[in-house]
Amino acid sequence: EPEVTQTPSHQVTQMGQEVILRCVPISNHLYFYWYRQILGQKVEFLVSFYNNEISEKSEIFDDQFSVERPDGSNFTLKIRSTKLEDSAMYFCASRKDRGTDTQYFGPGTRLTVL
């Protein structure tokens, strides 16, 4: 059964550095999402992406964040200048098409900002 994959599984970075988190959604899916979960807190929506553009973003998703689908398979989340409070688990999810509501999640990338 196809799955969403994410790399790396754990990323450690210094404050102020740029990081790129990578996701490979399920191949015939059209809608893509990023969520994050700070340790001990709830999973929070960051951004949704469809047809090569952001369709919705949360207040968390400020100018430090960007998403891209550089080719037909990858979906990336970039944090330009990481802060300590960006430390969290980042989940990618994908959904097939307009008529379906089920999102499939990747295993997550644990980002640690020192």
Is residue 56 near other proteins by the rule CB under 8 A? Answer: yes
| The amino acid at 43 | V
Q: Is 34 exposed, middle or buried (0-12, 13-18, 19+ CB in 10 A)?
A: buried
Residue (6 or 82) nearer to other proteins, CB:
6
How far is residue 59's CA from residue 40's CA, in Å, rounded to a whole number? Answer: 20
From residue 6 to residue 45, the character string flagging contacts with other proteins as x (rule: CB under 8 A) and all else as - is -------------------------x-x-x-----xxxxx
Applying CB under 8 A, the site for other proteins has a residue count of 25
Omega prior to 2 cis, within 30 of 0 = no
| Site residues, other proteins (CB under 8 A) | 3-4, 31, 33, 35, 41-45, 48, 50, 55-56, 91, 93, 95, 101-108
